[in-house]
């Protein structure tokens, strides 16, 4: 039996474990006491991480689809057709683009960005999960500047106060939830904000229950309570003078309940406080404002600048931070630098020896609608973006779709060309977690058939478009990243070849030299949906459609069973609403909104409050006729 | 029979053992963790360690264990059992883990006996290293499975300073010594009494973890644990399943077929009774859909009188691994403590 130290590919906590193999085949996972993030602990996804690679429907040979027929071909045949077809499209002036992925490595993403900008001469490059986290990151940037704020996960456990703005942390980020529990055990105050009485909310000292869509009001209420409390003694605030007055004028009329006053007192008293932003999937503008207000709260109370305190964004997939850092978004170059930053552009032009395009590119959803040719790296946009069916329909209309993946996803089934790449268990490379910790993946087994490492395959595509470099290892690519992205310079030297090789991007104190800027105070009132009931699209990430879970027999059971029982989806409501409507679990209701109507079964939940109906992200498309593009909408409910 | 071997001679003994079987011993990996792994040379074996986080049960019950080959042959399917007859020797495992393997073997020997497991277990020789210093989270003394053993081993080694005391517990143990008989001398009275003294001293050095199974057992077995307590405790569980997967006595598994297109391998894969879908039925009904129900079930299995009577042991060897891996706060000693006191004090 052999053990390979590697990084968990699931969520953005970035735990480490050993992949175990026997005779070259994956057999299991073992935890490590010495890993800086996981310290011997793993969640269910970690414990069963080997299963998807071992049991999943894997791609083992390049495939080409001609006239509806799929044929297995050699690598050269596949590369030849792909480069010919894409060149035809670009020469005909048609739009092409590349999608990287929050579940691909830094090396794969970096090369995907290079292929788009230098090889295909377009800024049409994004990753599908970005459509969920972009507003949130934008909101943070308004307050904190260009650096994604961060704190160390381990600091959570020693916090005296934790502010958790969540979807459902216990399910989305069990490792972070574990550290929150540790703090609560040590008598820290936990304040949760959300519309659901989640496991974390039930353990909290105070749960600020929201109505979907009015989270912003609750956070503004907290801001008001903090400013009011510190009106006389402002020394402890992170905001002064005119900034203070402007902010105060902005929020002074917001309702301040006793609960908000209590929470405000705890924030101002705590020496070490962690602000965890673990919600996503909300409607764009709303999510941006919520994130900005949340960061403002952290900044105003001085917790962005204090040792042991900080704000941490917890997004679902493992390498969201890495994908952003590698420049796999239309508006950012490697190093998370702006597209219009001339210095950064010049550095890349010199490095890649190509003139780079200036026109802004399309983001995922627009790219799917407007492109003729698309290269998708380890991603399945229909299972990620809010309008899944629409994304699927758009992909079906593409003139040419190339997909690189390890697994047979719905996107793979639509592709004209499929390139099989190694899964996380079979490749070398790095991932960057949300702390900014760069960590190595190590190959524990060989990929199936003639599949190759992702960096090799995109490297070859780059070469076909004249921007290849003769990379002989993932490390070669990483060395180039260090030159393309200044923030990654020197990381390679700090990542040792052996052991738990992890290196933090910027040291934590550095990242905390952030100050609150009054621009963020420009928050406006948002009308929340009115109506007898509110229907909300639960933004908690749909792990059931992520190949790492979907292809694991152990992890996928719940999701599959739910699909089987409710093939057309369901909505969740509380017992009181079910009683009022005289409904029992499993019975159907008719939901009607301004967008349209639908008839769906109900599921009774204990964690919802009256008046709130929730549809899991996995079933959002089944309720698209009622939700439209909204994440929250007013509905009427009747028994048909 | 009790012998002694000089420390300087152990290398030669291990060398001999390496010729006769696959030797699995604690090895220090590049990340600093000590893991059980196949060794190629005596120098790899680690002697100075508390215990490994993953238990050595994976060498009798692998996390993924191929048990049947299935092949389509026209209209028919051919099936063939897969047996692993490799001769293995587990070297330097701790007392609790030897007890754990004995527990598993007792279970798999019950009718219908599990030939796949048993072939592996019967081909295994267990050489333990008694714990002169108990590990920091261990409480084996509460479970009757350490720090020293009086059964469940083939050979038990005790570190006496200059030499090891070698207690032989079975014929397999005798034959593990037979390759180099001249290295083993009959133990002196002094050496035997030194071992007794070391065991007594070890028992006085346990850390804070304790586990009073008896009073918890009375409450669990007579339905005197309030549902509200299970509910309250279950809020502190994050359903990682780690407690099951590292438990030396947990043996539950699911069965999955790997492969496709006419050729499959049916594998036994570790499973956790704390996962929501563990008891999910084909109809979609789940008799233990709530976390508190699953937790109650787990502790009923671990520490009820019914199971104690069947297994002649509680389902715990006190290794303390669940304390270390628990993502929440519901490790075994914490829950047993709460059951005993009727109160959760997280």
In chain A, where the domains are located: 2-54, 58-129+318-506, 132-313, 533-638
pLDDT band at A286 (very low <50, low <70, confident <90, very high): confident
Q: How many CA atoms lie within 13 A of B285 on its CB side?
A: 2
What's the fold here for domain A58-129+318-506? Rossmann fold (3.40.50)
Residue B36 covered by a domain: yes
The model's pLDDT over B311-324, given as tens digits with 9 standing for 90+, comes to: 889 999 999 999 99
Q: Based on the fold, state whether residues B310 and B228 are members of the same structural domain.
A: yes
Q: How many CA atoms lie within 13 A of A309 on its CB side?
A: 24
Number of cross-chain residue pairs from A and B with Cβ atoms under 8 Å apart: 129
The model's pLDDT over A556-570, given as tens digits with 9 standing for 90+, comes to: 998 999 899 999 999
pLDDT of residue A234: 63
pLDDT of residue A76: 98
State in words which class domain A2-54 has: mainly beta
Is A59 part of the contact surface with chain B (CB cutoff 8 Å)? Answer: no
Q: Based on the fold, state whether residues B27 and B101 are members of the same structural domain.
A: yes
CB contact under 8 A, A181 and B271: no
Find the domain containing B233 and state its range: 213-251+273-341
Contacts of A52 in chain B (CB under 8 A): none
Instruction: Give backbone dihedrals phi and psi of B101, rounded to 5 degrees, phi first.
Output: -65, -35
What is the distance in angstroms between the Cα of B94 and the nearest Cα belonging to chain A? Answer: 18
Least confident stretch, A435-439, A460-464, A503-507, B207-211: A503-507
The model's pLDDT over B92-138, given as tens digits with 9 standing for 90+, comes to: 999 999 999 999 999 999 999 999 999 999 999 999 999 999 999 99
Q: How far is CA A326 from CA A128, A142, A333, A496, A570, in A?
A: 15, 21, 7, 21, 38
The model's pLDDT over A337-359, given as tens digits with 9 standing for 90+, comes to: 999 999 999 999 999 999 999 99
Partners of A439 in beta bridges: A431, A502
Position with higher pLDDT, A232 vs A639: A639
pLDDT band at A307 (very low <50, low <70, confident <90, very high): confident
Q: How far is CA A260 from CA A107, A220, A265, A359, B275, in A?
A: 45, 10, 9, 46, 36
Query: What contacts A23, CB < 8 A, 6 or more positions away?
Result: none
Assess whether pLDDT exceeds 80 at residue A431.
Answer: yes
Give the C-alpha separation, A377 to A106, whole Å: 12
Give the C-alpha separation, B267 to A244, whole Å: 64
Position with higher pLDDT, A501 vs A454: A454
Cβ within 8 Å of B, A 548-577: 553-554, 557-558, 561, 564-565
Q: Are A275 and A155 in contact (CB under 8 A)?
A: no
Mean pLDDT (chain A, rounded): 91
Assess whether pLDDT exceeds 90 at residue A106.
Answer: yes
pLDDT of residue A14: 97
pLDDT of residue B282: 87
DSSP A360: -
Number of domains in chain B: 2
Residue B78 covered by a domain: no
Mean pLDDT (chain B, rounded): 95
Assess whether pLDDT exceeds 90 at residue B183.
Answer: yes
What is the distance in angstroms between the Cα of A607 and the nearest Cα belonging to chain B? Answer: 13
The model's pLDDT over A194-213, given as tens digits with 9 standing for 90+, comes to: 999 999 999 999 999 999 98
Partners of A19 in beta bridges: A4, A29
pLDDT of residue A504: 75
Give the C-alpha separation, B238 to A47, whole Å: 13
pLDDT of residue A503: 78
Determine which of B269, B290, B344 to mutate to test the interface with A (most A C-beta atoms within 10 Å): B269
Q: Are A105 and A322 in contact (CB under 8 A)?
A: yes
Mean pLDDT for A6-35 is: 96
B236, B284, B325 ranked by CB distance to A41: nearest: B325
pTM of the entire structure?
Answer: 0.95
Query: What contacts B204, CB < 8 A, 6 or more positions away?
Result: none
The model's pLDDT over A323-332, given as tens digits with 9 standing for 90+, comes to: 999 999 999 9
Phi-psi region of A241 (alpha: psi -120 to 50; beta: other; left: phi over 0): left
Q: How many CB atoms lie within 10 A of CB B153?
A: 27
Give the C-alpha separation, B268 to B50, whole Å: 30
Q: Parallel, antiparallel, or unpaired for β A16-22 and A25-31?
A: antiparallel
Give the C-alpha separation, A564 to A485, whole Å: 46
What is the distance in angstroms between the Cα of A179 and the nearest Cα belonging to chain B? Answer: 8
A31, A50, A561 ranked by CB distance to B280: nearest: A561
Look at the block and give the residue holding tokens 């007898």.
Answer: A532
Is B21 part of the contact surface with chain A (CB cutoff 8 Å)? Answer: no
What's the fold here for domain A132-313? Dimethylsulfoxide Reductase; domain 2 (3.40.228)
User: Which value does ipTM take for this structure?
Assistant: 0.96
Give the C-alpha separation, B263 to B178, whole Å: 44
Looking at B144, B169, B203, the residue that finishes a domain is: B203
What is the distance in angstroms between the Cα of A185 and the nearest Cα belonging to chain B? Answer: 6
Q: Based on the fold, state whether residues B313 and B247 are members of the same structural domain.
A: yes
Is B275 part of the contact surface with chain A (CB cutoff 8 Å)? Answer: yes
Q: Are B89 and B21 in contact (CB under 8 A)?
A: yes
Q: How far is CA A420 from CA A55, A62, B63, B258, in A?
A: 16, 6, 27, 19
CB contact under 8 A, B31 and A500: yes
What's the fold here for domain A533-638? Barwin-like endoglucanases (2.40.40)
Look at the block and give the residue holding tokens 């592709």.
Answer: A415
Q: How many CB atoms lie within 10 A of CB B346?
A: 15
Helix H or strand E encompassing A415: none
Determine which of B63, B264, B291 to mutate to test the interface with A (most A C-beta atoms within 10 Å): B63
CB contact under 8 A, B35 and A3: yes
Which pair of structure tokens corresponds to residue B139?
A: 């409480």
Mean pLDDT for B254-264 is: 90
Is B324 part of the contact surface with chain A (CB cutoff 8 Å)? Answer: yes
pLDDT of residue A519: 37
Mean pLDDT for B34-53 is: 96
Determine which of B27, B66, B240, B241 to mutate to test the interface with A (most A C-beta atoms within 10 Å): B240
Assess whether pLDDT exceeds 70 at residue A272.
Answer: yes
Is A20 part of the contact surface with chain B (CB cutoff 8 Å)? Answer: yes
pLDDT of residue A232: 63
What is the distance in angstroms between the Cα of B135 and the nearest Cα belonging to chain A? Answer: 14
Assess whether pLDDT exceeds 60 at residue A364.
Answer: yes
Residue B259 covered by a domain: no
Which pair of structure tokens corresponds to residue A128?
A: 């599908």
Mean pLDDT for A488-503 is: 80
Query: What contacts A76, CB < 8 A, 6 or more positions away?
Result: none
Least confident stretch, A528-532, B7-11, B205-209: A528-532
Residue B30 covered by a domain: yes
Q: Based on the fold, state whether residues B219 and B199 are members of the same structural domain.
A: no
Q: Based on the fold, state whether residues B148 and B221 are members of the same structural domain.
A: no
Q: Based on the fold, state whether residues B140 and B17 are members of the same structural domain.
A: yes
A20, A31, A500 ranked by CB distance to B325: nearest: A31
pLDDT of residue A497: 66
Q: Based on the fold, state whether residues B236 and B150 are members of the same structural domain.
A: no
Cβ within 8 Å of A, B 189-228: none
Assess whether pLDDT exceeds 90 at residue B217.
Answer: yes
Is A19 part of the contact surface with chain B (CB cutoff 8 Å)? Answer: no
pLDDT of residue A236: 59
Q: What percent of chain A stands above pLDDT 90?
A: 78
Mean pLDDT for B209-232 is: 93
pLDDT of residue A518: 38
Query: What contacts A251, CB < 8 A, 6 or more positions away?
Result: A220, A221, A223, A224, A227
Assess whether pLDDT exceeds 90 at residue A524.
Answer: no
Assess whether pLDDT exceeds 70 at residue A623.
Answer: yes
Residue B66 covered by a domain: no
Is A186 part of the contact surface with chain B (CB cutoff 8 Å)? Answer: no
Which pair of structure tokens corresponds to residue A466?
A: 């004249």
Contacts of B256 in chain A (CB under 8 A): 55, 553
The model's pLDDT over A42-85, given as tens digits with 9 standing for 90+, comes to: 999 999 999 999 999 999 999 999 888 999 999 999 999 999 99
Q: Based on the fold, state whether residues B171 and B39 are members of the same structural domain.
A: yes
Contacts of B280 in chain A (CB under 8 A): 557-558, 561
Give the C-alpha separation, A494 to A489, whole Å: 10
pLDDT band at A238 (very low <50, low <70, confident <90, very high): low
Assess whether pLDDT exceeds 60 at residue B303.
Answer: yes
Query: What contacts A453, CB < 8 A, 6 or more positions away?
Result: A421, A422, A426, A427, A428, A429, A443, A447, A474
Question: Same CATH fold, A132-313 and A58-129+318-506?
Answer: no
pLDDT band at A529 (very low <50, low <70, confident <90, very high): very low
Look at the block and give the residue holding tokens 């040291």.
Answer: A507
Contacts of A440 in chain B (CB under 8 A): none
The model's pLDDT over A154-173, given as tens digits with 9 standing for 90+, comes to: 999 999 999 999 999 999 99
Q: How far is CA B307 from the centre of its chain?
A: 18
pLDDT of residue A513: 35
Assess whether pLDDT exceeds 60 at residue A528.
Answer: no
Sign of the C-alpha dihedral, residues B335, B337, B343, B346? Answer: negative
Contacts of B58 in chain A (CB under 8 A): 1, 20, 28
Residue B76 covered by a domain: no
pLDDT of residue A500: 79
Q: Based on the fold, state whether residues B20 and B168 are members of the same structural domain.
A: yes
B261: nearest CA partner in chain A:
A57
Collapsing DSSP states into helix, strand and coil, what is residue B243? Answer: helix
**Dihedral, CA of residue A441, residue A442, residue A448 and residue A451, to nearest 10:** 60
Q: Based on the fold, state whether residues B130 and B175 are members of the same structural domain.
A: yes
Assess whether pLDDT exceeds 60 at residue B238.
Answer: yes
């Amino acid at each position: 039996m052999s053990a390979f130290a590697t990084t968990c590919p699931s969520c953005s906590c970035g735990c480490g474990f050993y992949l175990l193999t026997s005779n070259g085949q994956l057999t299991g996972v073992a935890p490590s006491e010495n890993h800086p993030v996981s310290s011997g602990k793993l969640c269910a996804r970690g414990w069963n991480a080997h299963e998807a690679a071992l049991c999943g429907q894997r791609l083992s040979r390049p495939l080409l689809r001609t006239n509806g027929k799929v044929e297995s071909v050699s690598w050269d045949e596949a590369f030849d057709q792909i480069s010919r077809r894409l060149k035809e499209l670009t020469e005909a002036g048609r739009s092409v683009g590349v999608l990287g992925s929050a579940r691909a490595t830094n090396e794969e993403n970096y090369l995907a960005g290079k292929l788009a900008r230098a090889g295909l001469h377009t800024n049409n490059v994004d990753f599908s999960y970005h459509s969920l986290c972009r507003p949130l990151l934008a909101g943070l940037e308004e307050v904190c500047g260009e650096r994604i704020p961060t704190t160390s996960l381990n600091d959570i456990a020693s916090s005296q106060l934790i502010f958790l703005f969540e979807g459902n942390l216990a399910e989305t980020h069990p490792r972070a939830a574990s550290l929150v529990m540790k703090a609560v055990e040590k008598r820290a105050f936990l304040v949760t904000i959300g519309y659901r009485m989640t496991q974390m909310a039930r353990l909290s000292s105070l749960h600020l229950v929201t109505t979907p869509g009015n989270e912003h009001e609750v956070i503004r209420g907290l801001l008001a309570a903090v400013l009011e409390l510190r009106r006389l003694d402002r020394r402890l605030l992170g905001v002064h003078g005119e900034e203070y007055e402007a902010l105060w004028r902005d929020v002074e009329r917001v309702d301040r309940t006793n609960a908000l006053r209590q929470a405000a007192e705890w924030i101002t008293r705590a020496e070490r406080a962690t602000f965890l932003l673990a919600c996503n999937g909300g409607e764009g503008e709303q999510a941006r404002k919520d994130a900005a207000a949340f960061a403002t709260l952290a900044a105003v109370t001085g917790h962005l600048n204090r040792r042991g305190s900080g704000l941490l964004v917890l997004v679902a997939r493992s390498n969201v931070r890495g994908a952003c850092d590698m420049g796999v978004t239309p508006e950012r170059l490697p190093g998370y630098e702006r597209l219009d930053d001339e210095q950064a552009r010049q550095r890349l032009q010199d490095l890649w020896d190509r003139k780079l395009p200036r026109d802004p590119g399309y983001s995922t959803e627009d790219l799917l609608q407007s492109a003729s040719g698309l290269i998708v790296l380890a991603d399945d946009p229909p299972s990620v973006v809010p309008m899944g069916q629409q994304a699927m329909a758009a992909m079906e209309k593409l003139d040419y779709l190339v997909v690189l993946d390890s697994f047979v996803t719905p996107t793979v089934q639509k592709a004209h060309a499929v390139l099989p790449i190694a899964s996380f268990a079979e490749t070398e490379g790095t991932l960057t977690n949300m702390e900014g910790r760069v960590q190595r993946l190590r190959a524990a087994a060989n990929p199936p058939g003639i599949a190759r490492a992702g960096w090799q395959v995109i490297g070859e595509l780059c070469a076909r478009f004249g921007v290849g470099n003769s990379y002989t290892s993932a490390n070669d690519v990483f060395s180039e990243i260090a030159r393309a992205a200044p923030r990654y310079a020197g990381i390679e030297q700090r990542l040792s070849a052996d052991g738990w090789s992890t290196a933090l991007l910027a040291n934590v104190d550095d990242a905390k030299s952030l100050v609150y800027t009054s621009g963020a105070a420009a928050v406006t009132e948002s009308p929340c949906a009115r109506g007898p009931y509110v229907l909300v699209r639960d933004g908690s990430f749909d792990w059931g459609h992520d190949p790492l879970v979907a292809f694991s027999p152990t992890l996928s059971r719940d999701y599959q069973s739910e699909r089987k029982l409710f093939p057309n989806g369901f909505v969740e409501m509380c017992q009181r609403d079910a009683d009022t409507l005289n409904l029992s679990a499993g019975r159907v209701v008719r939901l009607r909104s301004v967008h349209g109507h639908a008839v769906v079964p109900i599921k009774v939940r204990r964690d919802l409050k009256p008046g709130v109906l929730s549809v899991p992200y996995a079933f959002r498309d089944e309720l698209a006729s009622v939700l439209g593009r909204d994440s929250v909408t007013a509905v009427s409910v009747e028994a048909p | 029979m009790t012998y002694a071997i000089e420390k300087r001679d152990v290398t030669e003994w291990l060398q001999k053992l390496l010729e006769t079987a696959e030797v699995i011993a604690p090895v220090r990996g590049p990340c600093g963790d000590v893991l059980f792994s196949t060794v190629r040379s005596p120098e790899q074996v680690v002697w100075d360690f508390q215990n490994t986080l993953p238990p050595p049960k994976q060498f009798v019950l692998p996390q993924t264990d191929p048990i049947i080959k299935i092949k389509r042959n026209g209209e028919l399917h051919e099936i063939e059992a897969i047996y692993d007859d490799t001769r293995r020797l587990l070297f330097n495992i701790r007392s609790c883990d030897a007890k754990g393997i004995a527990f598993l073997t007792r279970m798999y020997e019950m009718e219908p006996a599990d030939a796949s497991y048993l072939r592996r277990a019967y081909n295994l020789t267990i050489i333990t290293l008694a714990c002169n210093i108990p590990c920091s989270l261990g409480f084996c003394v509460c479970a009757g499975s350490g720090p020293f053993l009086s059964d469940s081993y083939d050979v038990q080694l005790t570190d006496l300073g200059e030499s090891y005391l070698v207690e032989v517990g079975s014929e397999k143990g005798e034959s593990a010594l037979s390759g180099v008989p001249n290295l083993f001398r009959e133990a002196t009275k002094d050496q035997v009494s030194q071992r007794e003294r070391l065991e007594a001293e070890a028992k006085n050095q346990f850390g804070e973890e304790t586990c009073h199974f008896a009073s918890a057992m009375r409450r669990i077995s007579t339905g005197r644990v309030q549902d509200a307590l299970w509910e309250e405790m279950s809020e502190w569980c994050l359903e990682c399943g780690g407690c099951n997967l590292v438990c030396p006595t947990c043996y539950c598994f699911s069965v999955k077929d790997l492969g496709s297109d006419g050729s499959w391998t049916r594998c036994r894969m570790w499973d956790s009774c704390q996962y929501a879908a563990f008891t999910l039925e084909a109809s979609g009904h789940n008799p233990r859909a709530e976390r508190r129900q699953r937790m109650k079930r787990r502790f009923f299995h671990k520490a009820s009188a019914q199971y104690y009577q069947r297994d002649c042991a509680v389902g715990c060897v006190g290794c303390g691994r669940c304390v270390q891996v628990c993502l929440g706060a519901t490790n075994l000693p914490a829950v047993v403590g709460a059951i005993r006191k009727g109160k959760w004090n997280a």
